[in-house]
Amino acid sequence: MIPRLAGTLEGRALCDVWPALVQCGDDAIEELDDGYAVSRHTRGATTFIEIEPLCGEDRIPALRLDDPGAVLERLNKADTLEALCEVAANAIRRISGMERVLIYRFEEGGHGEVIAESKVDDWMESFAGFHFPSADIPAQARALYLVSPCRFVPRRDYEPVDLIPPLDPRNGAPFDLSRSRLRSLSPIHRLYQSNLGVDGAMSISIVNEGRLWGLVVGHHRKPHRVSIPARQQVMTITSGLAMRLSATETAEERDARVRHVVLHAKLLEQIAGADDFVSPLIHGDVKLTDLFFASSGAAVIYRDDTGEEQDMDVRTVGQAPDRAHILAFSKACRDHLVDGVFATDHASSILPAFSSHAGYASGVLAITLGDEGRHMILWFRPETIRTTIWGGATPDQVAREKQAGNYLPRQSFARWVEERRGHSRPWPRWKIDIARSLRNALNDVILRQMRTIRRLNTRLQESDRAKSRFLAHMSHELRTPLNAVLGFSQMLEAGIYGAITDKQKEVLALIGEAGTHLLVMVNDVLDLSKVEAGKMELHSAPCDLVALSERVVTLQIGFARSQGLMIKSCHTQDLPRISADERLVKQMLLNLLSNSLKFTPAGGSVTIATILRPDGGVSLSVADTGIGIPGAQHISVLEPFRQAHDDMMVSHAGTGLGLPIVKSLIELHGGFLNLDSQVGRGTTIRLNFPRSATLLP
């Protein structure tokens, strides 16, 4: 008993009991002349004062301990988490005099892992690398460690002293002693220490970025008091350790973090310049699987405006589950999203059916995008078989004990080895932070794209209306006078209105040629405009491609012979008919054949072929031995009014609309066009009709 505090104290003023206590500052340890160390703190309207008698070791002017400055310097030089914690554990054990010091890190879910240990040689029991269930330090205890960062308990088997009064007389509520360093321990905790074989103990919280990262734990097999100066040095080193965690904890992944920042920027660049956000993620130079490195695959789920599940588009890259499981998992994980982000190293715990994909998708990182999170991106991580050494019991064993009614601490801390399957490596916090940052940036880009799309849609609607008006007037305003010009020139040339001279015949022929060319161009423009405006209608019926090809060849054979060219045919026997608009197929074939004859020198040949593809579709090709198209021009020749060479507009009459019209018409049939060409070796154009168009006998 402290003499000044003898007798009845309730109701007396503090300045009357011990005037020096009034002068003590909050949250600081001060020495009073009477030989006591005093600390005080205030919570609400209550001030708590803790008084501890000073011992001889507390008065040593120069402790023979590690220089804290030298220890902090070694902490700064540590380049890995293991090295950092080893330096801290060794220094803290020497300073505190504890027989064993552990650096204990909390994992997700509250389980703990000993990542560094320093102990005396004659204590054979080692906990290095051990994991401990979350029940050993439950959630309420972890919350208390954030409020009260240190506890030094010299003796386990002390005699607890009652608090007087036990309740706050102002409101009848218990006093909040959570920040008091000298408060009594829980009986359960003291029993836990006894089972560990520990008497004197200490614990210091390691707080990183506002969260409880772990603990420095000190054990002594006999009673052991850590001196007040040594406590201050231990706290200083622990603070140094905590400050280095952000830089050192991810030392092995520091370069990866830097690369991710660069990839993050490049990915956003790709998307910002694209018409949609999905294609660049799958086909861009920087793909989804380039992020987070350990990812085995990724998926993008894109919902259209209806938001119906059957209208959701799933695109994958790398190794990924099937569409049904991806959609099911995306639905299941939505209840677990935090600010639009979800991460798990055990996907089957969210969706048990996902276990069939554990080999390459045990872990999932997901972010939602767009209005109300309608879209989602998922990254997958492969299974990592992990062997965990538990101290005394696994979490499942502890849970079974509690279900049986045994809430006392276990008595054995022997090694329990557990092999864990169906889990991936955990997603580190920095990857989750980058995913959250990527989500925010992508949402900004998508929002801008949606605004642009709305503006474009408005303009397109206006353009479509203008195009419809153009189509309505073009036939009458251009075709009618052109046909009249051609008709009258032919009548004049035939001498219906009287004899004409040779010079007049020559002029009339030129008028007819120019008029015909202009009419062809008008018809081409009309056809292309109709397709683009959605005004071109298909009148599908059974079509025999072989017979149709032969009829088109008959129309062109005379021109081919006049140019010194040969037309060949090569058809698959018993080729099935297709469902198509025969008039449009004939137009496509005439365009292709005319082009080939136009750009093939005398002595060359053109081959028309039909084949049945392995997928069941039918292809029609026109191949020539002509001048060919430069590789750099393969895209441009499929654009309206473009030809492979500028001088072709002069040397080879044409509008530059032939191939674009053919491409539009085959796509109108649900198919696609292939172009294969080399300069000087010829060109092959292949029209690929879809399998659904094939009419099987």
CATH of the domain at 84: 3.30.450.40
Peptide bond into 61 cis (omega under 30): no
Residues 466 and 438 in one domain: no
Contacts of residue 525, Cβ cutoff 8 Å, sequence gap at least 6: 474, 655, 657
Question: Is residue 568 in some structural domain?
Answer: yes
Question: Is residue 416 in some structural domain?
Answer: no
Cβ distance 585 to 660 under 8 Å? no
* Residue at a domain's end among 38, 54, 70: 54
Question: Is residue 268 in some structural domain?
Answer: yes
Question: Is residue 280 in some structural domain?
Answer: yes
CATH of the domain at 347: 3.30.450.270
Residues 516 and 475 in one domain: yes
CATH of the domain at 671: 3.30.565.10
Backbone conformation region of residue 602, classed left if phi is above 0, alpha if psi is from -120 to 50, else beta: beta
Nearest alpha carbon to residue 88 among 233, 194, 285, 202: 233
Torsion sign (Cα): 599, 605, 608, 611: negative
What is the predicted pLDDT for the residue at 415?
A: 54
What is the predicted pLDDT for the residue at 43?
A: 85
Return the HEC string of 376-409: EEEEEECCCCEEEEEECCCHHHHHHHHHCCCCCC
Residues 552 and 612 in one domain: yes
What is the predicted pLDDT for the residue at 433?
A: 83
Question: Is residue 476 in some structural domain?
Answer: yes
Residues 568 and 519 in one domain: no
- CA gyration radius, the chain: 42
Which portions of the chain are predicted below pLDDT 50?
A: 62-63, 307, 641-642, 644-654
The C-alpha atoms of residue 659 and residue 49 are separated, in whole angstroms, by 91
Residues 549 and 608 in one domain: yes
What is the predicted pLDDT for the residue at 326?
A: 92
DSSP state letters, 186-220: PHHHHHHHHHHT--SEEEEEEEETTEEEEEEEEE-
The C-alpha atoms of residue 621 and residue 619 are separated, in whole angstroms, by 6
Range of the domain at 473: 454-532
The C-alpha atoms of residue 353 and residue 351 are separated, in whole angstroms, by 5
* Residue at a domain's end among 217, 249, 281: 249
Residues 591 and 665 in one domain: yes
Joined tokens for residue 296: 């085995």
Residues 602 and 672 in one domain: yes
Residue with the two structure tokens 């419809």 = 468
Question: Is residue 399 in some structural domain?
Answer: no
Return the HEC string of 457-473: HHHHHHHHHHHHHHHHH
Nearest alpha carbon to residue 87 among 59, 117, 57, 111: 117
Question: Is residue 403 in some structural domain?
Answer: no
What is the predicted pLDDT for the residue at 647?
A: 45
Residues 77 and 165 in one domain: yes
Q: By three-state DSSP, how is residue 492 classified?
A: helix
CA distances 399 to 135, 251, 419, Å, are: 8, 36, 18
**Ramachandran angles phi, psi of 491, nearest 5°:** -65, -45
Residues 556 and 688 in one domain: yes
* Residue at a domain's end among 487, 514, 532: 532
Question: Is residue 490 in some structural domain?
Answer: yes
Residues 148 and 206 in one domain: yes
CA distances 302 to 291, 354, 375, 636, Å, are: 19, 20, 5, 31
> In which element (H, E) is residue 545 found?
helix 545-562
DSSP conformation class of 301: E
**Where are the alpha helices (H) located in 32-168, listed in sequence order?**
68-77, 81-96, 139-147
What is the predicted pLDDT for the residue at 62?
A: 41
> In which element (H, E) is residue 685 found?
strand 682-689
Joined tokens for residue 388: 């965990």
Residues 287 and 188 in one domain: no
CA distances 458 to 231, 277, 449, Å, are: 72, 20, 14
pTM here? 0.51
- Structurally, the chain folds into a number of domains equal to 5
What is the predicted pLDDT for the residue at 687?
A: 93
Contacts of residue 291, Cβ cutoff 8 Å, sequence gap at least 6: 260, 263, 264, 267, 379, 434, 438
Beta bridge partners of 381: 363
Cβ distance 575 to 603 under 8 Å? no
Q: How many residues does the chain have?
A: 697
Residues 521 and 658 in one domain: no
